[in-house]
Structure 1
Amino acid sequence: MSRKFWSLCLAAILSPCTALATDETEQGLATLWEVLWHQSGTPTRIVRWENDIRMRMTGVELPRHRDYVLKALRDVTAETGVRLIDVTDQPGEFANLTVEITPDTALEDNQPCVTYLDFRSEAKVDTATIQMRSKDAWRCAYHEAMHLMGVRGHPAGKTVLSYFPWKVDSLMPLDRVMLRAWYSPRMKGGMTPFEALPILADELIATAPDKAAASQMRDRFFATTVEQMQAYAAGRGDIPAIVKRSGKATEEGIRHGRSEMSYFLGVAFFEGATVRPDQKQALTWFERAASAGNRRAQSYLAGPGR
């Protein structure tokens, strides 16, 4: 009787902890999904650096900001394994990243910092430019450093990427999860959201105290997300709420996103990425994307050599 009593007491104590961990996993998965969306309302592919980053810092008040900005860049590259080289004091050296500290009157009040990634195809970053106002460098450095590595979204969760941040002056655990997954050997430039999501999720589950419960939550999250994205691509659903809340989604971005999502669903069902393989479903989504003008879907339907 005593053993049973204490077992019940222990279960009562542990249940809230398990529920909290499950909630954190669900929130983490939502954040990892949201980070795969551009603020315009379009889902994105994986882009990342495949070579060293050679950085040159320019602009105003460099002595004031250089060490802090450089620390942010080194923190993100340390998680990814990408080599960062500072060539600021070597004017003759090639740089593929320019970090400009601008006067406080530059840029816009609602966007005091910005990162531009240049790539020939949506897979590999060739060059990049970061701009940030001098007075905002303290809150922009880590946010833009994440964007620099190809992580382009603005999710709602506990990450320096959020427009409603929990923390701005160092990486948070979810940021590290994203970066490690983004640059893991399994991840490839050009991957669609449904190809990337399982890799991101596995990195998150590796940090969970109860991996079995986290894996079950992942499976439920995948099923719900695919269902929601089918509705979105078909014109019945919507983009993630945080993308709308951020206030920068456009009608054109959302419309283009439906076409892209149709193609991404085709890839998901064709390859069995995030969802079980289903060739009939894959064909349906490829056809929908092609009819909306998606060239990749049209190329797929045309067959090899066309």
Structure 2
Amino acid sequence: MSRKFWSLLLAAILAPCAAPAMAADETEQGLATLWEVLWHQSGTPTRIVRWENEIRLRLTGVDLPQHRDYILNALRTVTDEAGVRLVDVTDQPNATQLANLKVEVTPDTALEDNQPCVTYLDFRSEDKVDTASIQMRSRDVYRCAYHEGMHLMGVRGHPAGKTVLSYFPVKVDGLLPLDRVMLRAWYSPRMKGGMTPFEALPVLADELVATMPDKATAAQTRDRFFASTMDQMQAYAAGKGDIPSIVKRSGKSTDEGIRRGRSEMSYFLGVAYFEGTTVAVDQKQALSWFERAASAGNRGAQAWLGNRR
């Protein structure tokens, strides 16, 4: 028999075995991306912030006739996926007072070549977005609108996976499946503003698992990912481990950000063990992590301990 026949036969035999492994790899890569998105580039893990009311947009800047429809389509795609109402008030006489989102298209000479667009979120407490502003250079609108639209919704990280939030996305002119997973989870009834990364991760992970053809394999991969992430973060908080590699690759992590990140992670681990999110309830472990965070100056941990004395 020909070599081609035996190659095809071997492929047919191995295919059923390879499929679960490929599915597990895809799930694990997706979970890693969802975890990375919960980190600020400075090296600090973040809480969930999101819009609680409608977004009222005022569009300003240069070349607006050229870019207006594209920007509006990108922002509507993002807000529709999240289930948040977007209202364009640009042409209304009192637009400045009405708007809680300002999007400015700047000249090509503005901003920096390594940061052609930027989003600023304003929140008085770390749970609800009050106002926001986006700037993007005219020549970069096509690769910035969806990226900054994701940031607008409160998703602050720059993960490495297949998402428009990545610095090296697979595509830039539309949302990818993982972006839609993030937005649906971020604005689902289960997610609440102010949630810690360990409280948010199961919501994100379950939304991802629901999209997988083999949900049983995906769920097993999810549980393994939770366990390994807890181990890594306990080492990180204790000063023995490191921040996610994507944060280091961003080139924007700072010693202060990482120091603060270890303190925040200690507090978040305390919450995880106390509430039983991503890990089984363990009051002794919770107290240990709260005490570590409090000794590092974490106000949340200090308040938690103070309320129990």
Q: Equivalences for 1:132-281 in 2 at 5 Å?
A: 132-281=136-285
Identify the residue that residue 6 of structure 2 maps to in structure 1.
Answer: none
d(CA) in 2 for partners of 1:199, 1:44 = 15
CA deviation after TM superposition for structure 1 residue 263, in Å: 0.1
Q: Equivalences for 1:103-122 in 2 at 5 Å?
A: 103-122=107-126
Q: Deviations over 1:195-218 (max 9, x none)?
A: 000000000000001111001000
Identify the residue that residue 297 of structure 1 maps to in structure 2.
Answer: 301
Report the number of matched residues. Answer: 298
Identify the residue that residue 3 of structure 1 maps to in structure 2.
Answer: none
The structure 1 segments of at least 4 consecutive aligned residues displaced by more than 3 Å after TM superposition are: 8-11
Cα pair distance change 1:59/1:10, threshold 3 Å: same
Of 50, 55, 58, the match for 1:56: 58
d(CA) in 2 for partners of 1:229, 1:18 = 28
d(CA) in 2 for partners of 1:296, 1:11 = 55
CA deviation after TM superposition for structure 1 residue 246, in Å: 1.1
d(CA) in 2 for partners of 1:238, 1:21 = 28
Q: Deviations over 1:8-36 (max 9, x none)?
A: 98663222222111110000000000000
d(CA) in 2 for partners of 1:226, 1:250 = 23
Structure-1-length-normalised TM-score: 0.95
d(CA) in 2 for partners of 1:46, 1:128 = 16
Q: Deviations over 1:239-298 (max 9, x none)?
A: 000111111111111110000000000000000000011000000000000000000100
Identify the residue that residue 128 of structure 1 maps to in structure 2.
Answer: 132
Q: Deviations over 1:175-224 (max 9, x none)?
A: 00000000000000000000000000000000001111001000100000
d(CA) in 1 for partners of 2:119, 2:295 = 33
Of 15, 18, 41, the match for 2:17: 15
Give the superposed CA RMSD.
1.2
Identify the residue that residue 5 of structure 1 maps to in structure 2.
Answer: none
Q: Equivalences for 1:2-81 in 2 at 5 Å?
A: 12-81=14-83
Q: Which runs of 5+ in 1 are unaligned?
A: 1-7
CA deviation after TM superposition for structure 1 residue 91, in Å: 3.0
Q: Which runs of 5+ in 2 are unaligned?
A: 1-9
Whether 2:78 is the aligned partner of 1:91: answer no
Q: Deviations over 1:139-185 (max 9, x none)?
A: 00000000000000000000000012111110000000000000000
Cα pair distance change 1:131/1:9, threshold 3 Å: closer
Cα pair distance change 1:192/1:11, threshold 3 Å: farther
What SS does the corresponding residue of 2:105 show, helix, strand or coil?
strand
